[in-house]
C-alpha cells in the first residue's frame, strides 16, 4: 500500500512533465496564438515574398508572401482537430469491438482475422489507399485514419478483456448474476482503461504524423488551407532559398508527436507495476 | 517444425486473401469513378458507358471481384487505367527501387538500433542510456519527410556532398548508386531504429541479469565475449520479432521517402494512382505490399524456429 502511495506521489516522472509542458506550449500557440498574432494565414502579399525570420515576420514569409507563423498556427489547428477526433473515434470503436471480441467467442475469430488483414498493410499505405476513394477533405482523413487504427486498438482491448474475464472479481459478479452489459461496463472496461488511455495518447501522436504525411503526399485536405504537411510539400522545392518555411512546421510536428509519445510512456509506466522498480 | 511452418504459411495465405477483399471491396464501394477523372466532367453519358464497359466497371461487384481474383492468381493484376499498361509490369519495374531503398534502410536501422540498444543496456541508468533514449524517441516522433528535407538541406544544399535525389541502379554503377541511396536510406532507417533500439535494450537488460551471464563472468570469460556471445545471443529473439515488423512496415515509410527524394518506386506509383483514381494500380500495390508483409513474416518464423530451441520443441 505504501508503495502504491509513493508511486502516486511520484507523478508522471520528470520526462513526462517536460513533455506535458511542451505539448501545453504547442497547444497554447495553436489555440490562443491567432488571437494575439492576428495576421492572415492566406493573405498573399507580393512585396513580402520569401522574407527570412525577423521581428516583423517571426517565422518568415513563404513564396506568396504569406506569414509562416500564421500558417503554422492555422495548420496546427487542423492537425489538432484531426488528431483529437481520430483519437476519440478510434478509442470508442476500438474499445467496443475489442470488448465484443474478447467476450463473444463466436465473433472473436472473425474479428481477429479481419484485423490480421488490416495489420498486413502499413498504416500510411492503407490510409493513402482509402483516400483514393474519398474526396480529399478533413473529414475523410479522419475516416481513413480511424479505419486504419481501429483494428490495432481493438486487438489491444481484446487482449486485456481476455485477461480480465478470467479474474476472480469478474467471476464473482458473474456468480451474482450480473447482466453482461453491467459486467462489461462496470468491471471489464474500467479495468482496461489504463491501456486504452495510453494507446489513445499514442494514436493522437500517430494521427498528427499520418495526417501530415497524407497532406504532404497531396492526398490530404486541399490547399490553400494550411496544414503542416502541405506546407512542407510546397516548401521542399524552396529549401535552397528559404529553409525556414520547411523548418518550422516540421519542428512543430516533431515536438507535438514527441511530447505525446513521452507522455504516453509516462502514463504507462505509472500504471504498470512492473516498471519503475 | 514443418507442420508449424505449414500452418503459418496457410494462415498467412488466408490473410493475403482477406487483403484482396479489403483492396477490392473497400475501394470499389466508394463514390467516385475513374471514368469521371479520365474523361472529364463534360463527357457524354454514352462515352462514360463505353468506358465503364471497356474496363468491366458495369458488371456486378461480386463478378468483378471473382474475375479480378482469377487474374491475380495467374499473376495478372489488371491494366492501369491511366498508364494503359499491365499493373504487374508497372509494379515490377519500380519494385527494385523500393526494395533497394527498403533493404538499405533496414541495414541502417538494424545496425544502428541494435548498437544503440546494446550500449544503452550495458550502461543502463547512466547518461549514455539517457542519450540513447532521446535518440530513439526522436526517431519515433519525427516526420520522415521532414528529416529527409533537413538532410537534403544539410548535405545537398548547405554542404553539397551528396545528391538530393534520384536513383541509379546498383548493378549499373554501384558507387554512384550508393551515394544516391545514403540520404534516403538513412532518413528511413533512422526512424525505424528507435523501435529496434528500445526492444534491444529491454531484452539485453534482461539477458545481462541472467544467471548464465554471472556464471560466464565468474568463469573468467572476457567482458566483450560475455556481452556478445552469451547475453546478446539470448537477447536476440525479441529483437528478431521487432526487426521483422520493422522490415514489413518499412515499405509504408518508403512511400513518403520516395516522394521526398524523387525516387520512382512503388510508393510514387501508389500516390500517383490515388490522385488519378487508377483503381487497378491502387489495388495491385496494396496486394504487393501485403505480400511483402507475408513473405517477411514467413522468413521471421523460419529464423525463429531455427534460432530458438524452445520454439523448435514446442512446434514439433
DSSP string, B275-300: HHT-HHHHHHHHHHHHHHHHHHHHHH
Per-residue pLDDT for A46 more than 50?
A: yes
Report chain B's mean pLDDT, rounded to a whole number. Answer: 81
% of chain B beyond a pLDDT of 90: 3
Q: Do B143 and A243 touch (CB under 8 A)?
A: no
SS3 content of chain A, % helix, strand, coil (to 5): 75, 0, 25
By the 8 A CB rule, do B286 and A128 touch?
no
Per-residue pLDDT for A224 more than 70?
A: yes
Angstrom distance (rounded) from CA B12 to CA B8? 6
Interface of B with A in 150-169 (CB under 8 A): 150, 152-153, 157
Q: What is the pLDDT of residue B138?
A: 83
Nearest to B271 among A219, A235, A250 (CB): A219
Contact residues on chain A for B81, CB-CB shorter than 8 A: none
Per-residue pLDDT for B248 more than 70?
A: yes
Q: What is the pLDDT of residue A146?
A: 93
At B179, list the grid cell: 551515394
Which bin fits B32, alpha (ψ -120 to 50), beta or left (φ > 0)?
left
Q: Which residue of A has its CA nearest to B16?
A: A117
Please give the angle made by the CA atoms of A255, A257 and A262, to the nearest 5 degrees: 95
Angstrom distance (rounded) from CA B67 to CA B74? 11
Q: What is the pLDDT of residue A229?
A: 86
Nearest to A120 among B143, B150, B293 (CB): B293
Angstrom distance (rounded) from CA A176 to CA B215? 53
Per-residue pLDDT for B8 more than 70?
A: yes
Q: For residues A158 and B225, which has the higher predicted lDDT (pLDDT)?
A: A158
The confidence band for A273, taking pLDDT boundaries of 50, 70 and 90, is low
> From start to end of chain B, where are the E strands?
none
Interface of A with B in 101-140 (CB under 8 A): 113-114, 116-118, 120-126, 128-135
For residue B297, the tally of other CB atoms under 10 A from its CB is 20
Of B210, B201, B218, nearest to B123 (Cα)? B201
Q: What is the pLDDT of residue A105?
A: 78
For residue A85, the tally of other CB atoms under 10 A from its CB is 18
Chain centre to alpha carbon of residue A3 = 32
Q: Do A113 and B273 touch (CB under 8 A)?
A: no
Q: Which residue of B has its CA nearest to A210?
A: B143
* pTM of structure: 0.84
| Segment A76-125, tens digit of pLDDT | 888 899 999 999 999 999 999 988 888 877 888 888 888 888 888 888 88
Burial class (CB in 10 A: 0-12, 13-18, 19+), A171: exposed
The confidence band for A12, taking pLDDT boundaries of 50, 70 and 90, is low
The confidence band for A227, taking pLDDT boundaries of 50, 70 and 90, is confident
Q: What is the pLDDT of residue A276?
A: 44
Per-residue pLDDT for A212 more than 80?
A: yes
Q: What is the pLDDT of residue A201?
A: 87
Interface of B with A in 130-149 (CB under 8 A): 137-138, 140-146, 149
SS3 A243: helix
Q: What is the pLDDT of residue A2?
A: 46
Q: For residues A8 and B37, which has the higher predicted lDDT (pLDDT)?
A: B37
Q: What is the pLDDT of residue A204?
A: 92
Q: What is the pLDDT of residue A26?
A: 85
The confidence band for B302, taking pLDDT boundaries of 50, 70 and 90, is confident
Report chain A's mean pLDDT, rounded to a whole number. Answer: 81
| Segment B48-107, tens digit of pLDDT | 788 777 767 777 878 888 888 888 888 888 788 778 888 888 899 888 888 889 999 999
b vs e for B149-158, b when ≥16 Cβ sit within 10 Å of the residue's Cβ?
A: bbbbbebbee
Per-residue pLDDT for B124 more than 90?
A: no
Per-residue pLDDT for A1 more than 50?
A: no
From A174's Cα to the closest Cα of chain B, the distance in A is 35
Q: Which of B82, B149, B246 to mutate to test the interface with A (most CBs of A within 10 A)?
A: B149
Interface of B with A in 24-83 (CB under 8 A): 26-27, 29-32
Distances (CA, A) of A90 to A84, A201, A205, B14: 10, 11, 13, 26
| Segment A183-209, tens digit of pLDDT | 888 888 888 888 888 889 889 988 999
By the 8 A CB rule, do A53 and A64 touch?
no
Q: For residues B36 and B210, which has the higher predicted lDDT (pLDDT)?
A: B210
Q: What is the pLDDT of residue B152?
A: 87
By the 8 A CB rule, do B28 and B64 touch?
yes
Per-residue pLDDT for A6 more than 60?
A: no
Q: Do B30 and A134 touch (CB under 8 A)?
A: yes
SS3 B99: helix
Rounded to the nearest 10 degrees, the angle between the axes of helix B233-260 and helix A189-216 is 40
Enter the ipTM.
0.80
- Residues with Cβ within 8 Å of residue A269, at least 6 apart in sequence: A12, A13, A275, A276
Per-residue pLDDT for B27 more than 50?
A: yes
Of A69, A75, A46, nearest to A57 (Cα)? A69
Q: What is the pLDDT of residue A85?
A: 95
Angstrom distance (rounded) from CA B291 to CA B294? 5
Per-residue pLDDT for B309 more than 70?
A: no
Amino acid at each position: 500500500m505504501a508503495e502504491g502511495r509513493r508511486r502516486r506521489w511520484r507523478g508522471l516522472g520528470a520526462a513526462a512533465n517536460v513533455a506535458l509542458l511542451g505539448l501545453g506550449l504547442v497547444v497554447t500557440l495553436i489555440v490562443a496564438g491567432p488571437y494575439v498574432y492576428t495576421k492572415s494565414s492566406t493573405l498573399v502579399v507580393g512585396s513580402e515574398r520569401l522574407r527570412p525570420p525577423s521581428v516583423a515576420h517571426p517565422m518568415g514569409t513563404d513564396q506568396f508572401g504569406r506569414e509562416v507563423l500564421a500558417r503554422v498556427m492555422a495548420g496546427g489547428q487542423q492537425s489538432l482537430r484531426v488528431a483529437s477526433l481520430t483519437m476519440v473515434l478510434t478509442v470508442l470503436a476500438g474499445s467496443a469491438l475489442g470488448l465484443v471480441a474478447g467476450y463473444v467467442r463466436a465473433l472473436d475469430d472473425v474479428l481477429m482475422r479481419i484485423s490480421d488483414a488490416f495489420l498486413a498493410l502499413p498504416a500510411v499505405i492503407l490510409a493513402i489507399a482509402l483516400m483514393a476513394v474519398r474526396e480529399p477533405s478533413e473529414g475523410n482523413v479522419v475516416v481513413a485514419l480511424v479505419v486504419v487504427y481501429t483494428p490495432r486498438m481493438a486487438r489491444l482491448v481484446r487482449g486485456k478483456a481476455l485477461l480480465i474475464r478470467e479474474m476472480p472479481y469478474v467471476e464473482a459478479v458473474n456468480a451474482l448474476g450480473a447482466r453482461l452489459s453491467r459486467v462489461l461496463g462496470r468491471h471489464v472496461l474500467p479495468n482496461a482503461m489504463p491501456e486504452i488511455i495510453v494507446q489513445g495518447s499514442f494514436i493522437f501522436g500517430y494521427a498528427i504524423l499520418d495526417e501530415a504525411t497524407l497532406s504532404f503526399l497531396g492526398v490530404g485536405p486541399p490547399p490553400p488551407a494550411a496544414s503542416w504537411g502541405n506546407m512542407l510539400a510546397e516548401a521542399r522545392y524552396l529549401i535552397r532559398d528559404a529553409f525556414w518555411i520547411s523548418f518550422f512546421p516540421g519542428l512543430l510536428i516533431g515536438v507535438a508527436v514527441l511530447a505525446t509519445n513521452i507522455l504516453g510512456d509516462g502514463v504507462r509506466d505509472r500504471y504498470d507495476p512492473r516498471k519503475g522498480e | 517444425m514443418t507442420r508449424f511452418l505449414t500452418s503459418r504459411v496457410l494462415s498467412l495465405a488466408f490473410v493475403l486473401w482477406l487483403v484482396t477483399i479489403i483492396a477490392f471491396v473497400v475501394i470499389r464501394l466508394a463514390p467516385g469513378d475513374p471514368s469521371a477523372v479520365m474523361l472529364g466532367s463534360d463527357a457524354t453519358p454514352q462515352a462514360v458507358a463505353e468506358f465503364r464497359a471497356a474496363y468491366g466497371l458495369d458488371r456486378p461487384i461480386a463478378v468483378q471481384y471473382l474475375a479480378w481474383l482469377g487474374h491475380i492468381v495467374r499473376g495478372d493484376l489488371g491494366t492501369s487505367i491511366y498508364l494503359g499498361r499491365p499493373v504487374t509490369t508497372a509494379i515490377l519495374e519500380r519494385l527494385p527501387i523500393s526494395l533497394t531503398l527498403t533493404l538499405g534502410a533496414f541495414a541502417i536501422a538494424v545496425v544502428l538500433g541494435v548498437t544503440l540498444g546494446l550500449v544503452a543496456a550495458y550502461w543502463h541508468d547512466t547518461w549514455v542510456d539517457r542519450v540513447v533514449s532521446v535518440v530513439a524517441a526522436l526517431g519515433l516522433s519525427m516526420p520522415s519527410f521532414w528529416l529527409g528535407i533537413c538532410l537534403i538541406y544539410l548535405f545537398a544544399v548547405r554542404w553539397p556532398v551528396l545528391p538530393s535525389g534520384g536513383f541509379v541502379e546498383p548493378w549499373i554503377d554501384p558507387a554512384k548508386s550508393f551515394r544516391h541511396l545514403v540520404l534516403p536510406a538513412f532518413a528511413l532507417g533512422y526512424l525505424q531504429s528507435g523501435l529496434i533500439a528500445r526492444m534491444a535494450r529491454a531484452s539485453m537488460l534482461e539477458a545481462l541479469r541472467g544467471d548464465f551471464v554471472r556464471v560466464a563472468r565468474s568463469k573468467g570469460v572476457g567482458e566483450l565475449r560475455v556481452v556478445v556471445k552469451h547475453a546478446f545471443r539470448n537477447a536476440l529473439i525479441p529483437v528478431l520479432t521487432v526487426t521483422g515488423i520493422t522490415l514489413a512496415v518499412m515499405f509504408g515509410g518508403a512511400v513518403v521517402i520516395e516522394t521526398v527524394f524523387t525516387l520512382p518506386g512503388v510508393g510514387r506509383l501508389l500516390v500517383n494512382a490515388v490522385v488519378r483514381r487508377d483503381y487497378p494500380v491502387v489495388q495491385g500495390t496494396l496486394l504487393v505490399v501485403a505480400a511483402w508483409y507475408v513473405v517477411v513474416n514467413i522468413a521471421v518464423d523460419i529464423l525463429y524456429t531455427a534460432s530458438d530451441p524452445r520454439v523448435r520443441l514446442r512446434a514439433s
